Structure 1
Amino acid sequence: MMTATPSEHAYEQLVTHRYRDFAAYNEWANRRLYAAAAQLSEAQYRADRGAFFGSVHGTLNHILVGDKLWLRRITGSGDEPAGLDAILFETLPELAQARAAEDARIAAYVAGLDATTLASDATYANVAGTRFTQQLATILDHVFNHQTHHRGQVHCLVSALLGNAAAPSLDLIAFQRERGLSRQG
């Protein structure tokens, strides 16, 4: 049996930790964004403001829909929402609870991955039923990027409705600094 060289072990650690860090970042950013959304009035929260999914409510639901769809595609388990614009939960507290549960599910999933699994291919069908095969790591890149993309839309809506001071920093570097992944000086 061959053992990994120090450089191979370092690469394995880098790759697997990257996805664990992204899962932790997403949980952190989602928690901060939901706290900001909770400052909105019900009318502000539900108003169609021209985002891809209309309102803060619609966009937060969409992010959860996307995560549920992708985890179902790559794990074979979990809910499969009916459409990309599905409203899974009608109230922000219910949605926040479901978001926290999905963030924990994502973190648990990526915690069990190794570099070999990340480099393996996964086959899935999109919402139109077209089948695709691609490397699991690139699918996870999309999942994390998708959240970031739509969180940015919600952040913009909160900023427009309540002012910049009401919208927290969601910068990855702020998360990294908070977690001690960088140092000053």
Structure 2
Amino acid sequence: MGIHNVRQLSDYNHWANLRLYAAALEMPEQQYRRPTGVFFGSLHGTLNHLLLTDRIWLKRLTGTGEHPDRLNAILYDDRRDLLRARIAEDARLNDLVRGYTDADLAKAVSYQTTSGKPYSQPLQDILAHLFNHQTHHRGQAHACISIVTGGEPPTLDLLAFQRGVPAPNLT
């Protein structure tokens, strides 16, 4: 994976998050919080988890920022506050990725898991995991929207992003 791919995935990540949040903001509160059987319970729990794990990885990669200690913590109860934090974290991630070079991707990064176990991996593997993890749980969030609304959730296909489907303006 080269730096072009990493930057594209970072941009895609932000685009897909905005599309999910646009759908989430349109939902009645009861639907938004309805348990659906996904790993983090509801759309709200899943969106919180995605923000939380990005914060963990960005703290590991930069040494700054918040580092929640529980993977199921609810960082923001209000979805608009959650959206503002999501936009800020996506910007932080995009800025970080824009500063990397191809050579940086091969460098090892040492970190500790939330349980304290030490690891060291190439940066490119960590970033591949970060973006894959986002896609995995966005898929669950996508399913939540479909289940609770009975409608069609927004497309999150990478091809749609590459073809220029616009992201909603949520700022």
TM-score normalised by structure 2 residue count: 0.93
State the distance in 1 between where 2:14 and 2:22 align.
Answer: 12
Determine what percentage of the aligned residue pairs are the same residue: 49
State the distance in 1 between where 2:52 and 2:30 align.
Answer: 23
Structure 1, residues 135-181: CA drift from partner, whole Å, max 9, x if none? 0000000000111000000100101111343x1100001101117xx
1:46 aligns with 2:5: no
Could you tell me which of 96, 104, 118 is aligned with 1:109? 96
State the distance in 1 between where 2:151 and 2:13 align.
Answer: 21
3-state SS, counterpart of residue 62 of structure 1: helix
1:56 aligns to what?
A: 43
1:9 aligns to what?
A: none
Describe how 1:108-147 pairs up with structure 2 within 5 A. Answer: 108-147=95-134
What letter matches 1:132 in structure 2?
A: Y
State the distance in 1 between where 2:4 and 2:36 align.
Answer: 37
2:61 aligns to what?
A: 74
State the distance in 1 between where 2:135 and 2:146 align.
Answer: 16
Larger relative contact order (Cα-Cα within 8 Å, sequence gap ≥ 6)? 2
- TM superposition shift of 1:82: 2.5
Could you tell me which of 63, 70, 84 is aligned with 2:71? 84
3-state SS, counterpart of residue 123 of structure 1: strand
Could you tell me which of 137, 140, 143 is aligned with 1:153? 140
Structure 1, residues 90-130: CA drift from partner, whole Å, max 9, x if none? 11100000000000000000000011111000011001100
TM-score normalised by structure 1 residue count: 0.86
State the distance in 2 between where 1:164 and 1:121 align.
Answer: 44
- Number of positions where the alignment pairs a residue of Structure 1 with one of Structure 2: 165
What letter matches 1:25 in structure 2?
A: Y
- TM superposition shift of 1:49: 1.4
What letter matches 2:130 in structure 1?
A: V
3-state SS, counterpart of residue 163 of structure 2: helix
Task: In structure 2, list runs of 5 or more residues that go unmatched.
Answer: 166-171
Could you tell me which of 145, 156, 159 is aligned with 1:173? 159
| Displacement over 4 Å in runs of 4+ | none
2:84 aligns to what?
A: 97
3-state SS, counterpart of residue 110 of structure 2: strand
State the distance in 2 between where 1:178 and 1:29 align.
Answer: 12
3-state SS, counterpart of residue 40 of structure 2: coil
